[in-house]
Every structure is written in C-alpha cells, then in structure tokens.
Amino acid sequence: MITALLLLTLQADPVAEFRKTVEDLRAAHSKKDEAAEAAAAAKIAQQLAAAIRAHDTKQPGAEKQLQQMAEALGVAQMLGSSPSYVPFLKRLTELYALDAAGRTKALDAAKAAMQSVLETIEAPKGYASVWPPSIEQNGAPILLKAFEARAKVKSKETDDYIINRDPAKAKAFLATAKPVLDAVAPLGARRARFDVKYDDGPAAELPHISGMLGLTKFLAATAIAQSQTGDDASARATVRLLWSVAAAPVDEPLLITALIETIVLGVAAEATSDVFAVGKPTAEDFAAVRTALARFNAREMYDLAWRGEICMQVVALEKHILGAAASLPGMLPIETVLREDIAVGMKIIGRLRSTTTMSVRDGRDVVAEIDKSTDALPMLSALMTPAVSRSWESMISTEARVAAVKAGLDAMEFKAKNGTWPKEIKELDPFTGKPLLLRDGVVYSVGPDGKDDGGDEQKDIRFRIGR
C-alpha cells in the first residue's frame, strides 16, 4: 500500500519523477548498462520536452519546474544563477532528437567553432599563445616583498588615514611608512612579470592583484601625508616611486588585471595632482611621470586582456564545467550544448576586442549591440557578457586618464615658464574627440556620460593642476 502511494505521488510530481529518471541514468552509466542508459536518456528527453511545452504555453509553475529539472541534471551547479534555463534545456532536447551521427556532427561543429575563434585571435594554443614575455631583471620579487611589508602595517589608524587623509594624523601615519618605502626602493625602472598559473583558469591564484592595489594606495597616502607635513621633496620622491610601481607590471592576458591597472592608474594620478598642485615639481618629476604614462597603452592592454578572456572560456570549460557534467556523459549531449554556448561567448568577446581598432563612436555602437543581445544569449554567455562589455568603458576611461595627466603636466610646465595657464589644451578627450577642458585649476575629460559636469570629482575624469 505504501509503495503504491509512493508511486502515485511520484507520478503526480513531474520533478520527482524526473529526479528518479536522472538517478536511473547515473546508475545505468556506472554499471555500463548501455540499454538501460539509453532508455533513461530517452525518458529524460521526453520529460524535458513536456516541461518545455508547458513553459511555452505559459502554464502555471512551468518556469520553476524547468529550473528544478536543470538542478537535477546538475546544470544549475555548473553554471550558477541564470535568468532562464530554457534555452539550454531546449537545445539539449533538440540535440537528443538527432541520431548518433547527427549528435557527433554537432559536437564536432561546436569544437571547430571554438578553435576558429582561438585562431582568429592568434591564440590557437590558448594561453601559451598570449602568455606575457619573459623579462630580464624581473621586479616581481621586489614588489612581492613590498606587498608583505604593506600587509604588516595593519592598524585602524593607518587604514583610517589612507581613506580620509586627515592632516592631523599625517605624522602618525608616516611613522609606519618607512619599511614599505624601503622595500619598494630597489624596484627602480624594472618591469614585473608575476608567476601566474594562467592555465588554471578562474581558480588561478592572483595575489599580486590585491597587492598592487593595496601598495599603490599606501604609497599615494604616504606622498600626500608628506606633502601635508611640508616635506615637498619627499612627497615628490614618493610620487615618482608610486609611478614606478604603477607602471611596473607587464600586461597580462586577464581582464581582472587590466581593470586593476586602470584603478591603479587613477590612484597614481590623484596622488600626483594632490602633491604637484601645491608643491614645486621639477623637470625630473615631470619626466618620471611621463615615462610611466608611456607604459599605459589602454588599447593594447585591453586587447591582450580580451584575448585572454577568450582563452579563459576554453580553460573554464575543459577544466571545470565539463568535469561537473561528467556524471551525465554519452547519452545526453550536455557537452555539445556547453561548447556551443562557450563558442557564442568567445565570439562576443572577439567582437568586443575589435573595438580596440575603432573610433569611440563606432566602438560604443558595437558595445550597445552586445548589450542588447544579452537576453537572447545561452546561459554562460548571458552571465558573462554584461561584465565584459562594461570593460570597454574602462578602456576608454584609461585613455582619458592618461590624456588628462599628460595635459595637466604640460599645463603646469607652461605656468611655471609663463606665469599663466595655457589658453587651450592640446590633448584630446577620447569620449568627445575634442580637446580636454580646463576650468578652475582642473584639466578634465567629460567621462563616459559625455556631459560636461565642470570637472566634477565623481562624474568627470580629471587631473587637478592648481588650488
């Protein structure tokens, strides 16, 4: 009686019945019972098709039912949250409806599509093709020691000064700075190539990411504290040191590092404007900053990062996602769906990479098209694309920041020689194609919104040249 009631309950609950079928599939596969595995896979396809029909006809609870089915298959665990599992499950049932030869052809086509994108970006061997070059006199060990020195300077007062820059606390903060300055000093003009295990994909350890950000913020605060205590010479020396750190890392094929470089550039620029605007920068100071700025080629930096992101999609699939799907191989063409999805995402990032050779106007149009397509993308691509497309804005903002600092240095030198600010700025604002603006002691770009907000600290990309 109890068994009969249980069976009736399972039959009345499509999700419970589906979970049982999935378990049957796993059991048959582990026993290498091909007939039982084929029968279970066929039943799964039928159950999915029925659930999809219910979804398409907008029956109550159909969306939740499909999500629960995706969870039973392990799709949710593989791919995280998603607006909808429907495209994935639909494609899965379409592929299952093909004969064995058709499914093999579809898998081969998906693999070929991925390889085609890699060859298009000149990375047929993945990360091996975009790996940063080896360098002599690698400064990475020096920076790693500096990161450690910075990490040891931990106190509420130190963190408070870095955030608030309270002049009354400047001397107390400077008392903690010497070990960090001593650790960084040997860096000089060395570049830094960090030992990153790129082929580990998303699981790669990237200690230098947080290290770079923490160290540059600390050096920026140190320079400002020195300026606040009247030690202009030390403040300018620390600014030069800050720029040597900011420009040291060799560009990496990772989007996260490009984004961090953009933030670090902003930190260095802000500290430079705060110190130079009230001090007396020398020709040596200007030359040091200009030399560092020359290393910030935004388009090359993000081109490499996007190439790396395309490779990352392959690494993620091969080393992580397919491993999670391994419990349901063979009879269900999950691998094919995942590869097709990844291929779409790779092509989208390839389109984004094409903006590195476009005008800002044309690039913005491409990004807008990518953003509009997000809702119709497969799951992985839909999850990945919005964050990647926003990185285009960071690329142009980096160009604007470099232009603003260059123009600011030129204006400061002009003022030192002529006693007045220049009447016009030669550097162009990449967001408008017109010269950067100069107002109230601030050189600025209008920023991503394209609006002149008068050099607003939050809305515009600016460099202060005077008080």
Contact 258, 251 (CB under 8 A): yes
Q: Identify the pLDDT of residue 376.
A: 73
Residue 449 lies in a domain: no
251 and 318 inside one domain: yes
| Whole-number Cα distances in Å, 110 to 91, 102, 125, 283, 308 | 13, 12, 17, 57, 20
Q: Identify the pLDDT of residue 371.
A: 86
179 and 61 inside one domain: no
257 and 372 inside one domain: yes
Q: Identify the pLDDT of residue 5.
A: 39
C-alpha–C-alpha distance, residues 165 and 217, integer Å: 11
340 and 298 inside one domain: yes
Which residues in the chain show pLDDT less than 50?
1-11
Contact 340, 378 (CB under 8 A): yes
Contact 242, 223 (CB under 8 A): yes
Q: Identify the pLDDT of residue 203.
A: 58
C-alpha–C-alpha distance, residues 208 and 201, integer Å: 16
Residue 210 lies in a domain: yes
34 and 127 inside one domain: no
Per-residue buried b or exposed e for 291-311, using 16+ beta carbons within 10 Å of the residue's own CB: ebbebbebbebbbbbbbbbbb
Q: Identify the pLDDT of residue 178.
A: 94
111 and 221 inside one domain: yes
User: 198: which residues sit within 8 A by CB, 6+ positions away?
Assistant: 127, 131, 204, 252, 253, 254, 308, 311, 315
Local structure of residue 202 (DSSP, 8 states): G
Question: How distant is the alpha carbon of residue 316 from its chain centre?
Answer: 15
C-alpha–C-alpha distance, residues 39 and 46, integer Å: 11
Which of 392, 416, 440 terminates a domain? The answer is: 416
Which residue's structure tokens are 């999700």?
Answer: 15
Residues paired with residue 67 on neighbouring β-strands, in sequence order: none
357 and 299 inside one domain: yes
Question: Which domain range does residue 264 map to?
Answer: 98-416
Total domains in the chain come to: 2
